[in-house]
Amino acid sequence: MTGNTWTIFKKELLDTLRDRKTLMFMLLIPTLVTPALMIGGSRLVENIMKKKAVERITIVADEQSHARYRGVVHRWFKEANQDFIFRAALNIGLNQLAQQDEEIPAPSPEIYTDPVVFEEWLNEVGDYMTEALSGEDLRERLSEIELPEGSPENSSGMSLGDYGDTMQLFVDFYTVGLRGLAFVDFETPDSIDAPSADFVSDGIPEEMISQPNGLNIAAAIKSKKIQGYLIFEEDPTESLTNESRTMPVTLWHDSTLSSSKEAETRVSRVLDRTGKLVVISRLKKRDLSPDFLEPMDLKGNTNLASPSQEILAAVGGFLPYLVIVYAFLGALYPAIDLGAGEKERNTLETLLLAPQTRTEVALGKFFVILLASLVAAILGVASIAISFYYIIPASVMAQANIQLDPMTVIAVTLLALPPAAAISGIFLAISIFARSFKEAQNYIAPMQFLIILPPLAAMLPGIEMNWKLAMVPLVNVSLLAKEFLKGDINWGYYVVTFASTILLAAVCIGYSVWQFRREEVLFRT
């Protein structure tokens, strides 16, 4: 850097740092806004999913169908209780829970025999059990429950949390028992007011519009009055004993309405889980093991990728892409301000008449834009990386043990330099060409697509680095960073990527210097 370039650099930097808009794009948005959006967004999705899960939905079913559905859930419960660990844990757990909180009644033995009592009990303990069974530390809490000394359950010396299948049964308790039955309000068709039928009925089956009892089921679902209409034509206690037949169940719903879709999800889970347990008991009756149904299985624990590699492979395409987006955002305002801004404020002519060369002016300005671009890129990626720690559950994070060696960090950071330089060079050229701030913005706007879209390709899962792609600027940077994060470091690709992007950057810088020497650009009227 010559003395004049340095003088211009210092002045432009000072000027830029005093510009609120630039600071916002360079510092605030990358460090705060994006991570906040990411964390907030993921929390929001999480909350919505949680809420959906415990949302009360209304299903219309006549008393017979309701009773039959309840019977299916109870059937699941009875089958699950065949598992002694589940039985013991439920008993002990419920007793312990009941002792802790007096509002929780200890279950009467009738819950095992009478489906109606079972449903009443579920409704009573529903909210409490939801809290007890949801959350990530269920396994931990289960292992804290002590099995009575000398009981057969305790003889193996294992804790409750050690049984994988039992865990599944507890998850089922939540999805089948609570979500499938306790959080569902059943209404009989005649207890629902018939909603007015002014809705588009195209393509809706005739029988859903005019029911014999006067209820327009389709209108009731579409108007969100109810979420589903359940019909059990057969008695499951009989039908399920017939091993050569599939029992039909009907649930009318609308998959475009989220709550109605939820009704379908819940009912189909109940049928699915209960069905599985029924099959297992059928097999047992014939002295067949559950393996009868699973002739083959891919062995577990054969995946060579560590959890950290899996996370990085998932995040890998995304992070380098953000490097380029932030480099873009960081360069945007300084570039417009340093080029078109000089014209808009009528300071350009005066500056050009100081003794320094126009190349020095262009370079001084270029380096400030580059610095802003790099700062934004590095800050952005750092803060995104940090916020991932908040999004990915702590348990996964602890297993993943993500550690990047300093060499990789430096290499990836260095990789941000050529694209940032190319972007800064192009922006400066456009900006000095423009007559005003507004014109510069108009010219740069379409550039977004050129700069932001190609690296997007690197995020596609099937696309991997090769020698041809290594020569495509911007795309190659994204791809290379992705490889790096996976731990595949091919220095050949690195050199080619670096060289081709540097070449592009050099062309861009040269172009902007050339623009600074053209009087038809500087004195455009």
Partner 1 sequence: MISVRDLSKVYKVKKKGEVVALQGVSFECRPGEVFGLLGPNGAGKTTCLRIISTALKPTNGSGEVMGHDILTDPAGVRTSIGFLAANSGLYARLTPKEVLRYFGTLFGMEKAKLNARIDELAETFEMTEFLNRPCDKLSTGMKQKVNIARTVLHSPPVIIFDEPTSGLDVLTSRTIIQFVKKCREEQKTVILSTHIMAEVEKLCDRVAIIHKGQLFFNGTVPEIREKHGDDLEEAFIQMVKEVA
Ligand X SMILES: Nc1ncnc2c1ncn2[C@@H]1O[C@H](COP(=O)(O)OP(=O)(O)OP(=O)(O)O)[C@@H](O)[C@H]1O
Stretch that binds partner 1, among 5-13, 23-31, 160-168, 250-258 (CB under 8 A): 5-13
DSSP state of 116: H
Alpha carbon distances (Å) from 324 to 49, 196, 273, 452: 32, 55, 47, 7
CA distance 424 to 367: 8
Interaction residues for partner 1, span 500-519 (CB under 8 A):
519
Asked if 359 touches partner 1 (CB under 8 A), the answer is: no
Asked if 355 touches partner 1 (CB under 8 A), the answer is: yes
Q: Please state whether beta strands 228-232 and 57-60 pair in parallel, antiparallel, or not at all (unpaired).
A: parallel
* Residue whose C-beta lies closest to ligand X: 523
Asked if 518 touches ligand X (CB under 6 A), the answer is: no
- Smallest separation (angstroms) from ligand X to the CB of 523: 4
SS3 per residue for 14-49: HHHHCCHHHHHHHHHHHHHHHHHHHHHHHHHHHHHH
The two three-digit tokens of residue 188, written as one number = 């009989």
The two three-digit tokens of residue 80, written as one number = 């699950």
Asked if 354 touches partner 1 (CB under 8 A), the answer is: yes
- Smallest separation (angstroms) from ligand X to the CB of 12: 25
Asked if 1 touches partner 1 (CB under 8 A), the answer is: no
Select the binding partner of residue 18 from ligand X, partner 1, none (C-beta < 5 to 8 A, by kind).
partner 1
Binding-site size, ligand X (CB under 6 A): 2
DSSP state of 266: H
DSSP H helices, 204-352, are 206-209, 217-222, 236-239, 258-285, 307-316, 318-338, 340-344, 348-352
- Smallest separation (angstroms) from ligand X to the CB of 520: 7
Q: Which is nearer to partner 1, 10 or 245 (CB)?
A: 10
Stretch that binds partner 1, among 133-141, 264-272, 339-347, 404-412 (CB under 8 A): 339-347
- Smallest separation (angstroms) from ligand X to the CB of 432: 14
Alpha carbon distances (Å) from 470 to 198, 312, 464, 483: 60, 21, 10, 12
Beta bridge pairs of residue 250? 231
Q: Of 417, 442, 438, 452, give the one whose Cα is nearest residue 337.
A: 438
Asked if 302 touches partner 1 (CB under 8 A), the answer is: no
CA distance 444 to 431: 8
**Binding residue for partner 1, selected from 191, 302, 303, 346, defined by CB under 8 A:** 346
**Binding residue for ligand X, selected from 84, 292, 389, 523, defined by CB under 6 A:** 523
> Which amino acid, one-letter code, is at 43?
R
Q: Which is nearer to partner 1, 389 or 523 (CB)?
A: 523
Asked if 389 touches ligand X (CB under 6 A), the answer is: no
Asked if 14 touches partner 1 (CB under 8 A), the answer is: yes
Asked if 349 touches partner 1 (CB under 8 A), the answer is: yes
Q: Which is nearer to partner 1, 18 or 286 (CB)?
A: 18
Residues forming the site for ligand X (CB under 6 A): 523, 525
Residues forming the site for partner 1 (CB under 8 A): 4, 7-8, 11, 14-15, 18-19, 345-347, 349-350, 352-357, 519-520, 522-523
